[in-house]
Chain A
Amino acid sequence: QQPVQSPQAVILREGEDAVINCSSSKALYSVHWYRQKHGEAPVFLMILLKGGEQKGHEKISASFNEKKQQSSLYLTASQLSYSGTYFCGTESGNEKLTFGTGTRLTIIP
């Protein structure tokens, strides 16, 4: 079943923060986060495997809740290069990644 992302779209000014949520109806083995620019392939951001896990790189971080049904991606002090559509990808034991509904992020100067 496809995970649901919220919000569907968000517009930020450069330097503002954003949170993107990804929810599944069942417990997951892992959650991946990807960013896709228009007309390009998705680019891997990070994977979370453990309930309660939080990880990040520079100004992008993510968390995975204890029940392993929800993940959030945090973008702090957003840059113009952060614009794109963000997808979570969830894996629930069948070794296939199901992508979420997507969140379109637009950063304006």
Chain B
Amino acid sequence: GAVVSQHPSWVICKSGTSVKIECRSLDFQATTMFWYRQFPKQSLMLMATSNEGSKATYEQGVEKDKFLINHASLTLSTLTVTSAHPEDSSFYICSAISSSSYNSPLHFGNGTRLTVT
């Protein structure tokens, strides 16, 4: 149980274009989904927290107009990287929980490797 599906696994796009990444909880309802970014050989850095039906909460330094997050249902959250630039190239990982995070493990998607040329 507790499967999170993330698509696509990888994407290559040209600078200036937008890319959408989907994160779905397949067998549970995710009250909260988290979006992380990971650069090579670095830790996972939280970008934003999204709750179904409400606006996402962004971490300091993350541009909300550049990284659009939509959590339209209890099983789907999307991250759209708008006007992508080479410095946005990274590994993006979503995770989901069904209750308060401090006593529940995060269930991760398999990640999306974004390369902006």
Please give the residue numbers on chain A whose beta carbons come within 8 Å of chain B beta carbons, in ascending order: 2, 29-30, 32, 34, 39-44, 47, 49, 87, 89, 91, 93, 95-102
* Contact yes or no, A32 B105, CB < 8 A: yes
Please give the residue numbers on chain B whose beta carbons come within 8 Å of chain A beta carbons, in ascending order: 6, 32, 34, 36, 42-46, 49, 91, 93, 100-111, 113
* Contact yes or no, B34 A89, CB < 8 A: no
Closest to A42 in B: B108
* Contact yes or no, A96 B101, CB < 8 A: yes
Chain A to chain B contacts (Cβ below 8 Å), 25 pairs: A29-B102, A32-B105, A39-B111, A41-B93, A41-B109, A42-B44, A42-B93, A43-B108, A47-B103, A47-B104, A47-B105, A49-B103, A89-B106, A95-B100, A95-B101, A95-B102, A96-B34, A96-B46, A97-B101, A97-B106, A98-B46, A100-B43, A101-B43, A102-B42, A102-B43
Give the CA-CA distance A85 to B103 in the complex, in Å. Answer: 23
* Contact yes or no, B43 A41, CB < 8 A: no
